């Protein structure tokens, strides 16, 4: 993915916008896989609250610091679910008259799509389950897991953890995989997409939120 974006934006300096908080880890790896200069900014929105299903109502919690008028913009998200959040962000940013606007997502849960939002760069499609790790959370926990893992029904329905379990492990016995810049991933397979550096490595098969 990094190689593809670098090729598409050769000779330009795009603004890369990370959607907090979930995309922070993915964005950090992605920008280091790029071979072009970029500027980085962040937006924060809310659509999940403390549940596992998007509420359908999107609120803007933090706006950009940079002026993107006349700039090439890449919006980086952790996962596309209903598409409502990204569609809101796209429409919001288009009012600021960027030169171009493209959307980037690590994970894509197409089964839940409710909009026709066009995501230009997708890491891996995932079926219907709730995943955590590599920046993705459940009730603000598990973001620090180095792998992407399926959250078990017991974890979702049980009492809120104190966070002490958030380590290198598989929740509910299923590890989706470890996002990778170059080496092989957990399970030694990929989901038919390129890794961050275009090598073909990335998240091994599993489920998304």
Catalytic site residues?
81
Alpha-carbon gap, residue 83 to 109, rounded angstroms? 9
CB 136 within 8 A of CB 148: yes
What is the C-alpha to C-alpha distance for residues 71 and 50, in angstroms, rounded to an integer? 34
CA 150 to chain centre: 15
Which has the closest alpha carbon to 19: 96, 67, 87? 87
Contact 76, 19 (CB under 8 A): yes
Dmax of the chain from CA atoms?
Answer: 51
Cα distance between residue 139 and residue 143, in whole Å:
10
Backbone angles phi and psi of 101, in degrees to 5: -145, 120
Query: Which two three-digit tokens encode residue 179?
Result: 């996002």
Contact between residue 56 and residue 27 where contact means Cβ atoms under 8 Å apart? no
> Are 200 and 123 contacting, i.e. CB atoms less than 8 angstroms apart?
no
């Amino acid at each position: 993915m990094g190689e593809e974006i670098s090729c598409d934006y050769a000779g330009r300096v795009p603004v890369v916008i990370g959607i907090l908080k979930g995309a922070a880890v993915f964005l950090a790896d992605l920008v280091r896989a790029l071979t072009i200069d970029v500027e980085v900014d962040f937006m924060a929105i809310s659509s999940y609250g403390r549940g596992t299903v998007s509420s359908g109502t999107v609120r803007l919690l933090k706006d950009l610091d940079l002026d993107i008028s006349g700039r090439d913009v890449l919006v980086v998200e952790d996962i596309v679910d209903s598409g409502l959040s990204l569609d809101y962000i796209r429409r919001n940013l288009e009012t600021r008259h960027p030169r171009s606007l493209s959307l980037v997502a690590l994970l894509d849960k197409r089964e839940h799509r409710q909009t026709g939002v066009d995501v230009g760069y997708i890491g891996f499609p995932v079926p219907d389950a709730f995943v955590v790790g590599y920046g993705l959370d459940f009730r603000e926990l598990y973001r620090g897991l180095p792998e992407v893992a399926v959250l078990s029904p017991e974890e979702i329905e049980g009492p809120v953890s104190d966070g002490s379990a958030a380590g290198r492990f598989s929740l509910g016995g299923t590890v989706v995989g470890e996002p990778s810049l170059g080496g092989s991933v957990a399970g030694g397979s990929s989901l038919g997409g390129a890794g961050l550096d275009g090598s073909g490595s990335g998240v091994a098969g599993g489920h998304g939120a």
